[in-house]
Amino acid sequence: MKRFTVLIAIAAVLAIGAGPWVWNTFISPRPQLELDPLKYAEDSSWSALPVEEPNPVWVDGWGVDVFLISEDSALRGTTQSGLQKRELRGRRQAQSLKASLESIGEVYSPLYRDNATNDDLTRAFESYLRRDNKGRALIIAHDRPIPDSILARLEQDASLRERFGGFLSISDTKDGIPPLDSNEQQAPVEEPLPYCNDRLNEAASCQMVVPAHREKGLWTLTSESTPGGEMVASFPEWLEANVGKMAEPLGDFEEVEIVDIRRPGETDEKLEGDGN
């Protein structure tokens, strides 16, 4: 009887201790913090960036960038402490993957609001293209679906699609390959994808699976070879042989006031008199 009484007492203590967690988690969860939109012109809005600014294609020839879309870079939290932990986790994951993806090229990975995923990732991608790409080749790595707006950008921009090297889909395969879009389209696919170029579609390698496993909660790539295999390793050589480099853009035009050319002695008064 005494032992039974002790067990009841322990159960009661545990119930009291777990009460707030049960209430806050299941019965009446706290609302998520409202976050301001991230500013992708600022380094703090990215979980991974190059250490130094890469040279444009018209300076050093073909270089490859990797735009990384990581599930762990989604910001959310019901408290400031929880939000900070989530942000730290996203930065750690991006830096870990960056160490493996740098064998391909420079890595860009944005933070984004979990409740505004498509909007933030679209803005981050457009900011990257406008400020950082500078005609370089591009590969997209991801472990979550890619916003339709980014796929549409590839489909509509022939120049960008021409120098696009495909999708690297990070997966442990037991949970399935992350789909390219919200329509749950899985790879590989047999029919051509409109956001991939002829090289990728002909080789049926628009989406390349990158084997990985979770280690202490973070992705670690399984293979030590180039992620994406030979299709990625041979990408710079293929670009050199098949794609023309973007020329350096002209600077901004400056408006110059046109001044009348006059002979010596010509004044406004004299010209008005001659006109009469």
138 has a pLDDT exceeding 70: yes
**Please, what's the b/e burial string for 53-73 (b: 16 or more CB within 10 A of its CB; e: otherwise)?**
ebebbeeeebbbbbbbbbbbb
121 has a pLDDT exceeding 80: yes
User: How many angstroms from the chain centroid is the CA of residue 219?
Assistant: 17
Domains of the chain by residue range: 38-180+203-242
208 has a pLDDT exceeding 60: yes
**Mean pLDDT value across residues 56-68:** 96
187 has a pLDDT exceeding 50: no
Judging by DSSP bridges, how do beta strands 207-215 and 218-221 pair with one another? antiparallel
Give this prediction's pTM.
Answer: 0.79
Contact in structure between 154 and 160 (CB atoms under 8 Å): yes
Of the candidates 79, 139, 81, 80, the residue with the CA atom closest to the CA atom of residue 106:
139
Instruction: State the amino acid at position 20 in one-letter form.
Output: P
Distances in Å between the Cα of 119 and the Cα atoms of 39, 115, 130 are: 12, 9, 16
Report percent pLDDT > 90 for the chain. Answer: 66
**Which of 110-114, 130-134, 212-216 has the least mean pLDDT?**
212-216
pLDDT in tens, 70-114: 999 999 999 999 999 999 999 999 999 999 999 999 999 999 999
Residue 209 phi, psi (nearest 5): -75, 130
240 has a pLDDT exceeding 60: yes
**Mean pLDDT value across residues 16-33:** 60
pLDDT greater at residue 41 or residue 264: 41
Position 129 scores a pLDDT of 98
| Confidence at 1, pLDDT banded by 50, 70, 90 | low
**Mean pLDDT value across residues 146-167:** 97
pLDDT in tens, 3-22: 556 556 555 555 565 555 44
**What is the rounded CA–CA span in Å between residue 213 and residue 215?**
6
